[in-house]
Amino acid sequence: MMSLVKNEWMKIFSKVSTYIFIAFLLLAALGAAVIDYKLSPDETNKDWKQELNADIQEQEKALEAKEISEEEKNAIMEDINYNKQLLADNINPDLNTNWTYMAEWTTSLTSFVTLFVVIVCSSLVSSEFSDGTIKQLLIRPYKRWKILLSKYITSLLFAALLLASLLIFSYLIGIIFFGNGSYSDKIMDPASFEFSPVVVGEYFVDMIVYWIPGFLVITTIAFMLSTLFKNQALAVGISIFILFASSTLNMVIQSFIGKYEWLKFVLFPHLDLRGYISGTIDMFDGATLGFSMGVLGIYYLIFLALTFFFFQKKDITN
């Protein structure tokens, strides 16, 4: 089995596209850091508590103005309360470290990892048919399921490599641009419009961990399609279409899920578990993390079973 995995690994790295994917992740992380650096305040070592207190005093003076409307007064009061909460919870609103950079940007860059892994996984088997090398592969002294399993294991290893590359690139680039911050620093939830403080390191880890189950299912779907279609372009095209259409399908399903209970068991509303972290991503009423994990687990096993079943029965004479 190890020799099969090694052989598949060498096939992946014999392609120029593999190095392009890794280089793109590096450039994406670097580009995000440049943008974040340009948007960050010029004065990074300022006394933010003193500035917040000064802002509060100015806002309180503004409330004393006679010509102020009730609407403006409410808006100023909200700002005052928000700033006071920041001071009470010791949250620097202008904090910019490698951890804040990763929490705000790297969590979004994972979409590129998904795209690249889908492209590779959806071509792992279909490319053998397109290139006409499937017969040479199957005449080797290994059972079909072992050959397919080696390809699937390789796809997971490649996915892990891309994710690790993105995390390492982001961490190091974040240190270069913003310095090495504390894992336990408090920030406001980047995806929330309300006062929602989070520990930056824990938030980042949660965002990655909660993203992985859906990512694993999408990877398995792409791999399954690679076994179903002999045409590589068709397998890759359908996989990418499903990837980009999943968010739209999720919104459609969410709008009808109140009328049709069975829609709760459809895959798409459960692909992004990050909605359970802070409630910033819409989940249907009654949804729980355990339920979503169960649905994902069932679909994962079904997709994996179909993949091996169809590959076992697949005719390679043509």
DSSP H helices, the chain, are: 2-12, 16-39, 48-63, 70-88, 98-101, 107-121, 126-131, 134-138, 144-178, 200-228, 232-256, 275-278, 289-313
Q: What percent of the chain has pLDDT over 90?
A: 23
| From 4-13, 219-228, 247-256, 260-269, the region with the lowest mean pLDDT | 247-256
Residues 126 and 230 sit within 8 Å (Cβ to Cβ): yes
Q: State the pLDDT at residue 278.
A: 64
pLDDT at 285 over 70: no
The C-alpha atoms of residue 50 and residue 162 are separated, in whole angstroms, by 43
The pLDDT confidence band at residue 21, using thresholds 50, 70 and 90, is very high
Arithmetic mean of pLDDT, 181-206? 84
Residues 212 and 273 sit within 8 Å (Cβ to Cβ): no
The pLDDT confidence band at residue 280, using thresholds 50, 70 and 90, is low
Q: State the pLDDT at residue 135.
A: 66
> Tokens 């003193």 belong to which residue?
50
The tens digit of pLDDT for each residue in 159-177 reads 999 999 999 999 999 999 9
pLDDT at 32 over 60: yes
Q: State the pLDDT at residue 173.
A: 95
What's phi and psi for 163, nearest 5 deg? -65, -45
14: helix, coil or strand? coil
As given in the structure block, the two tokens for residue 111 are: 């979409």
199: helix, coil or strand? strand
The pLDDT confidence band at residue 276, using thresholds 50, 70 and 90, is confident
The tens digit of pLDDT for each residue in 41-67 reads 655 556 878 888 888 888 877 777 767
Question: What is the C-alpha R_g of the chain?
Answer: 25
186: helix, coil or strand? strand
Q: State the pLDDT at residue 224.
A: 87
Q: State the pLDDT at residue 316.
A: 62
pLDDT at 308 over 80: yes
